[in-house]
Chain A
Amino acid sequence: AQTVTQSQPEMSVQEAETVTLSCTYDTSESDYYLFWYKQPPSRQMILVIRQEAYKQQNATENRFSVNFQKAAKSFSLKISDSQLGDAAMYFCAYRGRTSGTYKYIFGTGTRLKVLA
């Protein structure tokens, strides 16, 4: 069965600094998708970035970028120039084919604190 592991329950970063959140996953599939979602205190789930497994190029969205290492099954999120508004819970998610459909599997989350 596929699993997603976020080994850092909590991280802190100084404002304007860079932080990397780690995520590893386990799968035997070759076709899958990886996502990072942000959940601020409002509890809304917001898509941060999406990566397709067949694409070797790492996805980027403004200050957010990923380091996708397919062989190592690693999908870390780098946040550059951290801002107070980046403080949130971050979830890594895997979407791959299971029993004929593409199911979402989420990690347990990393709470990011941004220090002024």
Chain B
Amino acid sequence: EAQVTQNPRYLITVTGKKLTVTCSQNMNHEYMSWYRQDPGLGLRQIYYSMNVEVTDKGDVPEGYKVSRKEKRNFPLILESPSPNQTSLYFCASSFNDRGAAFFGQGTRLTVV
């Protein structure tokens, strides 16, 4: 089954404790991206990747890191999480930068 898999689905952590949210897709998509969803703001892009080893900032990259060492995986790293990073996070992939995005199930992150 074609899918984008994110883990974990729920995470509560404390300020400053490094965490990683994993994302994997099995569709051989080139384009992957991370979004955060906040009430009243819709989805905003954090980082995106056009292919292996090619990543770039989205609209709200501060406080986040990504890497793309393999085509299928695109983890999101929060080196020192802060409460303002409490949000719903989505990973998405698409065949290229013009195709429809397939989304993961979302990760609800709470930073206390």
Q: A103-B48, A103-B58, A104-B33 are in contact. Are A45 and B103 (CB under 8 A)?
A: yes
State how many angstroms separate the Cβ of B39 from the closest Cβ of chain A: 9
Q: Does A75 contact B (CB under 8 A)?
A: no
The answer on a CB contact under 8 Å between A102 and B101 is: no
Q: Which of A12-20, A76-84, A106-114 contacts B (4 or more CB under 8 A)?
A: A106-114
Complexed CA–CA distance, A55 and B59 (Å): 29
Contacts A44-B105, A108-B40, A108-B42; A95 near B98 (Cβ below 8 A):
yes
- Shortest Cβ distance from A114 into chain B, in angstroms? 21
Query: For window 1-28 of chain A, which residues contact chain B by CB distance below 8 Å?
Result: 4
CB distance from A45 to the nearest CB of B (A): 4
In the assembled complex, the CB of B30 is this many whole angstroms from the nearest CB of chain A, namely: 11
B41, B43, B106: most-surrounded residue (chain A CB, <10 A): B43
B23 within 8 A of A: no
Q: How many A-B residue pairs have CB under 8 A?
A: 50
Q: Is B110 an interface residue (CB 8 A)?
A: no
A103: B residues at CB distance < 8 A: 45, 48, 58
**Nearest CB of B to A14, in Å:** 27
Find chain A residues with CB under 8 A from B68 CB.
none
> For the complex, would chain B's binding face be called helix, strand, loop or mixed by DSSP majority?
strand
Across the interface, which residues of A come within 8 angstroms of B56, CB to CB? 101
Q: Are B103 and A101 in contact (CB under 8 A)?
A: no
Q: For residue B74, which residues in chain A have a CB less than 8 angstroms away from its CB?
A: none
The count of chain A contact residues (Cβ–Cβ below 8 Å) is 21
Contact residue among A33, A43, A46, A107 (Cβ-Cβ distance under 8 Å from B88) = A43
Which residues does chain B contribute within 8 Å of A50, judged by CB atoms? Answer: 100
With A44-B105, A50-B100 as contacts: A107 and B42 at CB distance below 8 Å: yes
User: In the complex the two chains form, is B100's CB within 8 Å of A102's CB?
Assistant: no
- Quick check: is A91 within 8 A (CB to CB) of the other chain? yes
| Complex Cα gap A102–B101 (Å) | 12
CA distance A95 to B105 in the complex (A): 21
Mask, B71-112, CB within 8 Å of A = 1, is 000000000000000001010100001101111011000000
List the interface of chain B (C-beta within 8 A of A).
Answer: 33, 35, 40-45, 48, 50, 56, 58, 88, 90, 92, 97-98, 100-103, 105-106
